[in-house]
Structures are given as structure tokens and as C-alpha cells.
Structure 1
């Protein structure tokens, strides 16, 4: 396999986790770019990165860079992705990958023309526990998946300067945490839900603070979703089947699940992978995709999730006006 050179755009929490994941793999980041140059310098020193760009846009034109990991706010992704693709770079982009389907459609079409890999850094598609559970469900041991129930809630103070409630940073529950719930649903459903009823409570800034969804696909599989950025909930996913149900806690980076069987009354605990290695699994699959392995980044699921989020959201960000 080709030795792939990674560049990271942004120096926030997730960029630090990505650097640590590469170190676990025995690799390092080739270069770093950030809007504030001094932060990039400090990040490079922390992780022994040799190259820091004076102008953050230079990362896209560096011929040594194979893939750019974009960790900046949601509403900057589209502009950076277009620049990267036009310069022949593969891109792994933090969720949510874009603001809407229009942006994502243009990105996918351009990537196909340029022959580069575009993917969203969605942990659910790469954690070993989810691959194991999907194989189990495909075997028929629990019968058909009929209903999925999702919860995700955090209590964030009404600090309108942070990204959670700031429309100028593409804040709101759907793009920040809803993307996890809908990715979980899409992973286990036979097809994308095309019927949706929703309720939204807005934050004082106008973004979605609280969202409730009821979804159904053509196969009759249903899902309910409750999201909040101003009320604490467990990160819990439950998959209800004909012969039992699966319960998963901390589902964005899950490593274990409890399977409850109807007939025997037995509860089986299964584990796979490590919570701490969530980004390692993403990076490994991304490198496989870059080296020619098809389907491991699940861009089709990313599209379906973005289509659902775009359809549900009842307000526009400044970039969409």
C-alpha cells in the first residue's frame, strides 16, 4: 500500500484526536494549516509536525499532500473541499460534511471528475461493534429490524458566542448531534427513510435547539429521534427486531452492545473494538479507500443522512440565504 501523507486543516479538539490516532498507527501528520498561524505553529510543535503553512490555503497546493483532514466549522467545509478537490487532494471531512445536499452534490460530482476520495468522518461507519452487529442482523438471528429509537442530549449554556448556538458557525442540534443519530439509523435500516414528521424548538439565535423526528422507509421500518442541546439525555440507541432488541450506550463511539432475546429472556453482551480507537478505525478505512478499496467510507449513507437533515431543517444559515 502507498504511504499516505496527511495534512490537517484546523487545530481544535478533533484535530488533536486525529494526530493522536495517527501516532497510534505509527504515523505522523505531514503538515498543518490553520486560520490563526500561531495556533498551527503550536500544534506542529506538540505533534512534531515539520511543515506549517503561512497561508492556510497553501495546504491545497502542496504537491506532497495526499489527503486533507478538514476539522474546521461546518460552514467552512464546502469552500475548503472544492479547493482541495480542484488540486487533486483526497479529503476526510468532519461531520456534518456540508450544510445541505446542494453543497454535497456539487462536491461529489467534482470529486468523481477529479478521481479523488471524499468522505465524512463518521465514527459509526467504522467502529468494529457496528460491523459486527450488522453481520449479526443480516444473519436473521433477531429477525427483521422494525423500529429504532435514538436519544442524544447535552446541556449547553446559552452562550451565543460558541458554535453550538451560533448561526454564523452553523450551530444547532441537527448538524451537531443529529448527524450521529441519523447515521446510526441509516446503518441499520434497509433503505433511507423517505417519510418524516418533525417538531423543532428554536434557540434564541434561531438555530434548532431541540428536535423530534418520526421516520419511516418503504420497508415499513420506523425510527424515532429526540435531540437536544439544552437538556441532558443519554447517548442511547435501541434497535427493536422481531425476536429481540439491541441496546447501545454512548453510540457515537460504541464498543459494546446488549442483546435481549424474547424467547429465552437471555441478555447477551458483545464487545468489539475500543472506544479510544474511534479515529484510528476511520483513518484505516480512509487509507484503504485511497488505495482503491471501494465502499469502505459509505458515502452513499452520508448522502442519505444529509438529504434527511436538509429536508427536516426549517431555517437557513447565512451562507444559504
Structure 2
């Protein structure tokens, strides 16, 4: 292993994120220790591409491998809880792709298991690790922007209107909320003083019964509000706006932002804030996870993950949207 990686990482899944993970570990001077995938052939192919020494014939072999320290799970949402149960029970630290589980009950079960085993469980939520959000958080905390009043978030993807596509497939826990809404909610939670306790929404369901479009309105006890516009069948700018009483912040290209503009209300003066690099998203996540595992502070923000999951669970209950596993 390279000198900067302290732990043996395994990937469960070989999709886009797994490729980014492999590249991030290489950038940190190491490489993935092992790979598990539903299809063994794909696992072999992935291992060859990144020079990974170990491929498991069965996924369960991964959980039994004593050499593995941290497992990154990037399989479909609906499979997460069953893998989390096995990984955590076998004493592995887990970084799990969003949405970490389908609902709050599953998440609470996983958290209890992680606590019982004394391991770190975290959601791979890029917003909690990108330097730009930390920088903006510090600027906001300094008080120079005044109090946060309103958060506005747009996230629209244009997905082909094919009901077999995973984004619209109920059997694969499809829908806008768990796929893109989780980013918008995590963004809102990062800047709001406390978790929203009032949740209202409008939803448009796809023919499969999953949410293809939603408007969400949130408010917390401080009276800070957030409005979210999500859609899976129309492109929108991925823009986050934070309105404080003395200025507003615009951040483009979230979740992996690297640049924001602050406009001051009094004189219209603008300040550009740049921090981190979009392309390094996984490097930041890996670094924070290793620090957490090493006991050097915990920047994984499982508390925010929990708050966001509660909101998503309430919303889907309001919409009457359940997945087969529930």
C-alpha cells in the first residue's frame, strides 16, 4: 500500500462511483485492496483495470476477509441494508453510497449495529466533504452575512422516459428523492441551524409509482425555510441559493461545487469564494473516512444523514410511496 493510505479498502460494486473510488485511492498513493460484485466476471475486469489483487467469487466472502478494514458500498439503494447488516456485523467500517438506506428504520438499525461493533458508519455524501461547503459554513458562522432566512435548491436531470430505467424502477428504489433529492436536502441541512421539523410538498408520480418530480417546502424552529425543486425528466441548473439578511450566496454545480459568489445586500458588492476541486470529490471523502476510522475527529456527519433520512421518510409516507422491500 502507498504511504498515505492507512487502511485496506474494498469496493462492493463496480459502477461509476467504484471507478472514481479506485482513482481517488491511486491519487492518495494507494489502491483498492479488493473488489466484490454481483457478477464475478465484472469484478475480475474491474480488478484488472486497477491492479487490484483480490476478487471475491461470492459477495459474502468479502465480509469474512479479516484483511479488509473499510468497505465502500455502491450497489443500488434497495440492497444497502442487507449488505450493511453483514458488513457491520463482521466489524467492518462502512462508507455507503447515498441514499444510505431506504428509510429511517433501516438507518437506525444500521447505526445501532455500528455502535455495538464500535465501527464507523457513514454515508458517502460529497457535500459534507467538499472544501467549498466548509469554507462557506465558516463564513456564515462568522456572522458577517447576518442570519440565514431562506435556502433555494434546484436539481433537475433529464432521464430518458423509460420505466425500465433504474431511475424510474420501483424495484430498484427509483425516484427523484432518493437519487437527487438527497443532495438537495443535505445541502439545506448543512447550512440550516437545526433540522426542519415542518415538511410540506407536492409530488408528481411516474407511471411506475415513483416520484419523478417534487416541490418541497421545509421550515425549522428558527424559522429558516428551504424550497426544493426536483425533477428526473427536465434539466435544471443545479443551483443552491442561500439568502441571509445581509447577503446571498449562489453556488453552482452542486453537489460537487468548487466556487460560490456572495452578493452583499447593502451595496451589491460581490465576493467570489473558491475552495477545493470538483474532480477531487472522492479524495476528500476517503481522507475524512480514514481520519474518522483512525479516531482523529469525525467529519462524516452521520447526524445530518439521520436528519435527511427522517425528512425523506416523512415525504414518502405523505406520498404513499413505498418500495417492495418495505
TM-score with structure 1 setting the length = 0.98
Q: 117, 137, 140: which one pairs with 1:137? A: 140
| Structure 2 residue 167 is the aligned partner of structure 1 residue 164 | yes
The separation in 2 between residues aligned to 1:208 and 1:91, in whole angstroms, is: 28
Matches within 5 A, 1:66-85: 66-85=69-88
| Contact 1:2–1:291 under 8 Å retained in 2 | no
Question: What is the CA-CA distance between 1:105 and the residue it aligns to?
Answer: 0.3
Question: What is the CA-CA distance between 1:270 and the residue it aligns to?
Answer: 1.0
Partner of 1:317: 323
| Contact 1:173–1:210 under 8 Å retained in 2 | yes
Partner of 1:187: 190
Partner of 2:103: 100
Q: 202, 222, 226: which one pairs with 1:223? A: 226
Residue 325 of structure 2 aligns to a residue in which SS? helix
In structure 2, the gaps of 5 or more residues are none
| Structure 2 residue 55 is the aligned partner of structure 1 residue 49 | no
Residue 63 of structure 1 aligns to a residue in which SS? coil
| Structure 2 residue 307 is the aligned partner of structure 1 residue 304 | yes
Partner of 1:276: 279
The separation in 1 between residues aligned to 2:138 and 2:84, in whole angstroms, is: 33
Count of aligned pairs: 320
| Contact 2:5–2:30 under 8 Å retained in 1 | no
Of the structure 1 ranges 138-147 and 155-164, higher mean CA displacement relative to structure 2 is found in 155-164
Question: What is the CA-CA distance between 1:2 and the residue it aligns to?
Answer: 7.9
Computed over aligned residues only, the root mean square deviation of the Cα atoms, in angstroms, reads: 0.9
| Structure 2 residue 210 is the aligned partner of structure 1 residue 204 | no
The separation in 2 between residues aligned to 1:251 and 1:3, in whole angstroms, is: 30
The separation in 2 between residues aligned to 1:15 and 1:190, in whole angstroms, is: 33
Residue 237 of structure 2 aligns to a residue in which SS? strand
In structure 1, the gaps of 5 or more residues are none
